Chains A and B, each alone.
Chain A
């Protein structure tokens, strides 16, 4: 009698302890930090992950200047080409880093630049195609602090 009561109590405790863990997992799945921003960019149109690659170093030398290349799989023909690529940041104070507009004279849907990243985060590139569809790709970047204070 006493044992089953204790067992039930311990099981209940374990259940209560697990709740925050389960809740945060569910919360993370729902609260996509990019959701609102992407909706702003696409006007609410759905975005399919794919066709877009974001190349960055996994570990950035310095958050002030991180090389980044966006590649979209596209034949760049009149029927099938990339119109615009929007680059979004998860943690920067201004989350829309840039928008790149390509043309039928581009030939290749690739853009490279250097960005500022305000700490370790994910960057997301959303490509708008000629047919109005949206595709996305992302990359995670670790941004470290400088070892010494530089007040030069």
Chain B
């Protein structure tokens, strides 16, 4: 062996070990045991989510199923034209998001992928966050993975995003000087006013939130937390939000997708 390479090898080995150990150590970042938001919800909210006819989110899933079949844009194609039967082609898809979009070398979430397809492949009007159409399509696609375990890949390509997401999760922000972790990592299960703090996973999104009286995205929930701690608001689609989505998805590894969830 060429001894001059030894220090480099040792350094590389050390870095790899540190990286690996870092992620393994951070598994302690995951709350134990992992619990769905439903476990912290009242009986009525649980009953709503578990009953497909009572679950208001299913109305958006039904709308999404309609939109899936509707031709749109200059290409006059529907989602179905390319993807066929969603229950087959979209099965498991939501478990892997957010992920790296090879084309832009950026993180992309499910909403982003749908918006991208809409604009580039269907050549249709762009869809906006929280629009009825985008919520419906996102809920419809995500529901095809209902019950399947969340399984995002955090490799060297998205490592920086993961670290940024984690850093944000643990950063105290806002007038109230609170980090996501203060509630959802350190005090889940405890009372905050009339509510029990959940672990804040995000596997049920988009959710029907009774407070919103409509379906809403995970990023809408982030924004409501930002206003809750009186922090500066971030726009929908912000890179910070994507990084945070990745961190949350990693943190919820193995938890079943629940879309469409119901929360208070």
Contacts and interface: CB of A to CB of B under 8 A. Distances in A.
Question: Do the two chains touch directly in the complex (Cβ atoms below 8 Å apart)?
Answer: yes
Interface of A: 57, 59-62, 64-65, 67, 144-152
Given A61-B42, A67-B44, A152-B224, A147 B195 contact: yes
B41 interface: yes
Contacts of A147: 192-195
Most B CB atoms within 10 A — which of A144, A149, A150, A151? A150
Nearest to B220: A152
Contacts of B221: 152
Contacts of B213: 64-65
Interface string B198-210: 0000000000001
B11 interface: no
B211 A150 contact: yes
Contacts, number: 57
A146 B227 CA distance: 13
Contacts of B42: 57, 59, 61
A152 B233 CA distance: 9
B41 A148 contact: no
B264 A61 contact: yes
Given A144-B193, A147-B194, A150-B211, 19 more contacts: A57-B42, A61-B44, A61-B210, A62-B210, A62-B264, A64-B211, A65-B210, A67-B47, A145-B194, A146-B193, A147-B193, A148-B224, A148-B225, A148-B227, A150-B224, A151-B227, A152-B216, A152-B220, A152-B221
Contact of A152 (B43, B44, B195, B212): B212
A146 B44 contact: no
